[in-house]
Amino acid sequence: MSTQAMNPTKVLRLAAWCILLSTLAALTFLAGGHTPSVRGPSGGVGFMAALIGSGVAWWFSLRARDPRLVVAALLSLLPLAFWCWQIYEVVHV
């Protein structure tokens, strides 16, 4: 895909929705983490949304050289770090 075919605004919108979805899943995970039927789906959706949002933001920030995507990529590290910490807690404990 060439940089002319990319619309940075649409890519930013996708990354922002993924980051928002991951953050909402993290809040659901924290609020209902004691219930397995809440913990599993919110963890799965949240972690995958964080991975997709982070990957899309980083890749297209490098390709399009758009400063808004760089900011989104940096913000996407917060939910990704949360989910990595949660996975570490589950595996380690």
Contacts 24+ apart (CB under 8 A), 6-10: 6/60, 6/63, 6/64, 8/60, 8/64, 8/66, 8/68, 8/69
CB 5 within 8 A of CB 64: no
Classify residue 69 as exposed, middle or buried by CB count within 10 Å of its CB (0-12, 13-18, 19+): buried
pLDDT interval class at 57 (50, 70, 90): confident
What integer best gives the mean pLDDT of the chain? Answer: 86
Which two tokens mark 3? 């940089």
pLDDT at residue 42 is higher than 70:
yes
Domain definitions of the chain by residue range: 8-92
Cα–Cα separations (whole angstroms), residue 47 to 7, 35, 43 = 25, 18, 6
State the average pLDDT over residues 74-89: 89
pLDDT interval class at 63 (50, 70, 90): confident
